[in-house]
Amino acid sequence: MMFQDINTIVKYYETKDLSTNLKLLQACQRGEPNLRELSYLTVDEWERPREEFTLVKKIGSGNFGEVYEGLWRNTMKVAIKVIKKDITKDDDFQKEVKIMKQLNHKNILKLYAVSSIDPYYIITELMAKGSLLDFLRGSEGRSLSLPELIDMAAQVSEGMYYLETSNFVHRDLAARNILLGEHNICKVADFGLARVIKDEFYFSHEKIIPYKWTAPEAISHGYYSVKSDIWSFGVVMYEIVTYGQIPYPGMSSSEVFSKITSGYRMPRPQSCPDVLYQIMLQCWNIDVEDRPSFCELRWYLDSHLNYEDASL
């Protein structure tokens, strides 16, 4: 049988069987295309003129600035983080921007551009569902099944594996720093450039180290490595399987550090299968070398913990 075009084929098979009792029903929803850049014109550029951006509405705020939904050249939706200049070191900032602009992975938040006049703008892709932590705590997040939760953890491990192979240590991996897009795609955010901005706060002004997420050797000696990111990943897994519970419930940050160094680990959350809990414990191994790698975690979460295993 010959058809004139695709639409005619689809229309035809909505009423006629494709094979016995098999008809076309509803079309799949088409997701937003995953853009790599603002446009092909900006591929090799990171500095953009301020006039190209319009702030549309505020969607969040952190310790270092406010985040807006915005527009590039009045057409393309973007996220714009507005930062006060006095907390950035120009050289480090520009160096980090150049590196980050090269990164490209489906599970890493894409940096599109910066506009470095006071107040600085950091322009990234816009993630429709905001932070993973808020999402998990909301009604949509709380209705996710275990396999869907595991898929999120697997996506984070994919993104972290890519960062690792790009020689990046994140140093602040936590559910609050993972952003969620359509179809629950997870992207690791708040690394690199964000670190340049945060470092001054973490290590000079306020010392607001996120103790509950940070590996003991990083807290005590400042030894940050991919293995300290692995420790934090274990805590992210805890946050994911508990739908956004604060880790070490009821404990203060300083209490957590002293308990961890004397061997304490969070107990298995009620709804967490033992296989998953064992992975968390491996991530929290005091011996850095005995922690798994992101490559192993990614493979394990992707292939071993398939749907049947996850319900065990």
Distances in Å between the Cα of 191 and the Cα atoms of 111, 162, 163, 168, 169 are: 11, 13, 10, 8, 8
8 Å CB contact between 281 and 237: no
Distances in Å between the Cα of 108 and the Cα atoms of 25, 76, 159, 258 are: 34, 19, 6, 33
Choice from 114, 126, 149, 209 touching ligand ATP (CB under 6 A)? 126
Strand 65-72, strand 76-83: pairing: antiparallel
Count the site residues for ligand ATP by CB under 6 A. 21
Q: How far is the CB of 164 from ligand ATP (least distance, A)?
A: 21
Q: Which residues contact 217 (CB under 8 A, 6 or more apart)?
A: 223, 228, 288
Choice from 88, 124, 232, 242 touching ligand ATP (CB under 6 A)? 124
Burial zone of 264 (CB within 10 Å; 0-12 exposed, 13-18 middle, 19+ buried)? middle
CA-closest candidate to residue 237, choices 288, 173, 187 = 173
- 82 belongs to the binding site for ligand ATP (CB under 6 A): no
Tell me which stretch binds ligand ATP (CB under 6 A): 59-67, 147-155, 223-231, 278-286: 59-67
Q: Which of residues 231-290 bind ligand ATP (CB under 6 A)?
A: none
Choice from 37, 62, 166, 288 touching ligand ATP (CB under 6 A)? 62
Distances in Å between the Cα of 256 and the Cα atoms of 123, 208, 214, 261 are: 36, 15, 10, 9
Q: How far is the CB of 81 from ligand ATP (least distance, A)?
A: 6
Active site annotation includes 302: no
- 176 belongs to the binding site for ligand ATP (CB under 6 A): yes
Q: Which of residues 90-119 bind ligand ATP (CB under 6 A)?
A: 109
- 34 belongs to the binding site for ligand ATP (CB under 6 A): no
Q: How far is the CB of 1 from ligand ATP (least distance, A)?
A: 47
Interface residues toward ligand ATP, by CB under 6 A: 59-65, 67, 79, 81, 109, 124, 126-127, 130-131, 176-177, 179, 190, 194
Residue positions annotated with a catalytic role: 172
